[in-house]
Structure 1
């Protein structure tokens, strides 16, 4: 069974995934792999240069800050960039998944519910939620170089929580006063039962 873990910035996707790994389940970190693919995958690299220009890469590698400025002011360019990167990540995930032997595997990605079911390539989608004010504080602590207004803009660009709640199969609440680990344990127990029925 392939389980997707998603959620807005600062909600706590990584915290959920780290605990899942402690329990012995493999996790594919789609956003991290995307960064590696953008640098190492020659076809992806060539298509990004064709879309945005040579400035997309420097002698030091992918020019992330410059690319971000180009695409976030242009929804059309952002969509085209995603259409280059997402299929490559999907293929990479499929290869990774085929090599796993665990009965349940996980895929962490910030963008998941925005995609079609085929693009997600998972059986269940779990959305991690936390209050906006708490997320803002967490991000500021983690990335002190980012201003509050910059973080707010990032949050505003992401899928609204109400929409995420409506589309996800499972919700995990990760506010400061929520007990995270019992929720994950319950999730694993439920998934394990579902896998047992499929076998």
Structure 2
């Protein structure tokens, strides 16, 4: 069984996926894959540098993510160009990692699970949910980003109410870590039961 795990920026997806991994799930992190496909020397990074100019690279030859983020959120056409380049590469890498799964069940962690076709790879969607105010607060603290930039990312993601409508299971992350941990354990037990029923 492949479980899709998603949520808005700053919702706490990574905390949830880390706990599920500890409990025995096979976790595929699409964000990490997105970073891997643009490492220094990769064809994708070369294409990005050719398109945006070499100022999109840092001195050590790696991608200047802050600069790229500013460019694509300021220009929808540039964002679409980047997605057309990267999404097929990410999808292939996701499939390869899911195929090697040896966990109790697999988890595809993705901030854009429902915005892209990634949700079609899954049979059960978990949404980590918190208020938009908490999202902004956590994301600004974690990324040292400006509120305007966090708002731009949030606006590019599916609205909160639409994510919740498409969830098979909602994890409330508006409390402390102890509360969240207990809710994740409940989710894990439910997923184990579902997996046993399909065997």
What TM-score comes out, normalization by structure 1 length? 0.86
Q: After superposition, give the CA deviation of every residue in 1:90-144 in whole Å (9 maximum; x if it has no partner).
A: 1112111222212301121111101125x6522222111001222222223323x
Aligned counterparts of 1:3 and 1:41: Cα–Cα separation in 2: 32
Over 4 Å off, 4+ runs = none
CA distance in structure 2 between the partners assigned to 1:73 and 1:150 by the alignment: 10
Counterpart-to-counterpart distance in 2, 1:158 and 1:105: 24
Give how far 1:21 is off: 1.7
Report the 3-state secondary structure (helix = DSSP H, G, I; strand = E; otherwise coil) of the residue aligned with 2:103: coil
Instruction: Calculate the TM-score normalised by the size of structure 2.
Output: 0.86
Q: Number of matched residues?
A: 197
1:88 aligns with 2:126: no
Instruction: Give the equivalent residue in structure 2 for 1:105.
Output: 106
In structure 2, relative to structure 1, the CA distance for the partners of 1:126 and 1:36 (3 Å cut) is same
Work out the CA distance in 1 between the residues paired with 2:66 and 2:187: 37
CA-CA distance at 1:20 after TM superposition: 0.8
What is the root-mean-square deviation in Å for CA atoms of aligned residues? 2.2
Residue 198 of structure 1, CA deviation: 1.8
Distance 1:66 1:139, change over 3 A: closer
Unmatched segments (≥5 aa) in structure 1? none
CA contact (8 A) 2:73 2:153 kept: no
Equivalent-residue separation in structure 2 for 1:137 and 1:101 (angstroms) = 36
